[in-house]
Amino acid sequence: MNRFLAPAKVNLFLHVMGRRDDGYHLLRTVMTFFPLYDILEMDVGGNEVTLACHPPVTGNPEQNLVVRAARLLQKNCNCRQGVHISLTKNIPAAAGLGGGSSDAATTLMALNRLWSLGLSQTELAEIGLTLGADVPLFIGQKTALAEGIGEQLTPMETLPTFPLLLINPGVPVSTPAAFSGLNGRWPERDANWSLAEGLQENDALTWMENDLESPARCLAPEIDTVFQALHQQGARMVRMSGSGASVFGVFESDNQLIFAAESIKSQYNNWLVFSGRTFHIHPFASG
């Protein structure tokens, strides 16, 4: 049995730059990894792709991105090998944390290795992009500035890491609904803007804005309560990740982070509360 970790991501900021004719939105975002993991265990054999997901996230396993990724790989490579995958879900679904995309990317990378397909990282990213705009980030395996619809990646490993308290209030937010809430309007920004490497932490905090926060708050008012709770605990900066409803607070130190986590857990026992420091290199890179 082969075991792989699929980490969550957080968007340190997310700018919506426009929309293409095909409906895909153009983004500018920095995504980094957070130590919250789905676990994939794979047993290669036969010629079928099967999945056991705990707990289930789709009514039909055939719709799970893990199954779709494996079958897409079979089709693209004319591969007749099979695999049984056991997926343990720890990253909440529809939470702005990229859980499904991370699972799909890990599936593509793992089966490329286990099935000895020999695809390059670029080839895997091209396949992954057809499954979701966040998938190439996880295949790239590094903190990155993502532009376009998410496929244009610039590694940003020199950015600081942050002690984060990550909270999900247990309310799913539809990504299409969050984008629709913009009503086709987004702030005007310089299309030629570039993010210099080596920013100091205080500088990095100044551009942590998420254009989807306002529409997501309309869809899930619970997000407002999470913001208030994190500010009350002394977070230096509070932002939503992706299209929500997960929200993170940046703290001065790990000790303050631990204290805030315990305090919020005692007040809101129906929230999912995770604490940890962001990191830059995907675990698959050293696995």
d(CA 180, CA 173): 12
Closest CA to 165 of 271, 19, 43: 271
Instruction: Tell me, yes or no, if 134 is annotated catalytic.
Output: yes
Residue spans of beta strands (DSSP E) within 107-246 = 144-148, 152-155, 163-168, 237-240
Buried b (16+ CB within 10 A) or exposed e, 215-249: bbbebbebbeebbebbeebebbbbbbbbbbbbbbb
Taking CA atoms, 266 is separated from 129, 159, 192, 194, 277, in Å, by 40, 33, 46, 42, 22
Distances in whole angstroms, Cα of residue 63 to Cα of each of 60, 66, 122, 171: 6, 8, 25, 21
* Active-site pick, 38, 103, 134, 211: 134
Ranges assigned E (strand) in the chain: 2-19, 25-44, 49-54, 83-88, 144-148, 152-155, 163-168, 237-240, 247-250, 272-277
Residues with a known catalytic role: 9, 134
